[in-house]
Amino acid sequence: MNANIVSGLPGNTFRPQDIERAQSFEYDPDFINENSDRTIGLDPASSSFGIVVTDFRDGKPCVLLAEEHKRSGPEMVPYVLELMQKYKPIAKVYVDGSQVLFIKMLKDAYGEEVDYQAAKKRCEQQKMSYEKNYTIIDVAMNAKNNINMLYRLQTIMQCGFLMIHPRFSLLINALHSCSDERGTVNKNFVGNDAFDSLRLCMQNYDL
């Protein structure tokens, strides 16, 4: 088990056996199946920019990319567009909703309506699903959603429904180091932005 980077203690959120099982599945993270679509989770935090890309294979989500960058959100727009091109077709791109400027810049570059709040209101008035009609989706990282996303990832892990290639050591270490208290995650561990990006990705899987 990997130690928590700050406290020197192991995390309490995920069971070591579940993390090990996630790494035991054999798959090629470099293979991009043109007949399926990918999900991207983005956490453009002030400390670092987390990115996770997932696919769905053999009835399970699998991680194709997990990384963090020491660059600000606006600087990362071209790179994210490159990833969206590389991993197309893209089902959804989930982004931390607090990063309004980045979301608007990414939507503008991708060709989606920049004023997404107005788009949401219009969809609500027309009784349409905003998520079904747009690719780039903002997610409110409030207390309730954070708890729900953590519980969802815990359930997926405990049921053996997630595949993580051993090459993604940053994400694996983050899972080992993650600690929470009643669903509130202690963010003082290396890889927490990639971890949040993984939580965002899981929103697209109805397991």
Is 8 a member of any domain?
no
Q: What is the mean pLDDT of each run of 10 residues along the chain (207 residues)?
A: 42 94 98 96 89 96 97 92 98 96 97 96 96 96 93 95 97 95 87 95 89
Is 63 a member of any domain?
yes
At which residue do the structure tokens 């600000």 appear? 72
pLDDT of residue 175: 96
pLDDT of residue 8: 41
| CATH code where residue 46 lies | 3.30.420.240
Is 189 a member of any domain?
yes
pLDDT of residue 10: 73
pLDDT of residue 1: 32
70, 18 in Cβ contact below 8 A?
no
User: Is the previous residue joined to 61 through a cis bond, with omega within 30 degrees of 0?
Assistant: no
Is 134 a member of any domain?
yes
10, 177 in Cβ contact below 8 A?
yes
Note the pLDDT tens digit of each residue in 48-80. Answer: 999 999 999 999 999 999 999 998 888 999 999
Is 118 a member of any domain?
yes
Is 39 a member of any domain?
yes
DSSP state of 181: E
Is 69 a member of any domain?
yes
pLDDT of residue 73: 85
pLDDT of residue 105: 97
Give residue 50's domain range.
16-204
135, 129 in Cβ contact below 8 A?
no
Count structural domains, the chain.
Answer: 1
Extract the tokens encoding 15: 């069971």
Kind plus residue range of the DSSP H or E element containing 52: strand 49-57
Is 23 a member of any domain?
yes
Angle at Cα 192 formed by Cα 69 and Cα 14, nearest 5°? 145
pLDDT of residue 83: 98
Q: 99: closest CA among 168, 47, 22?
A: 47
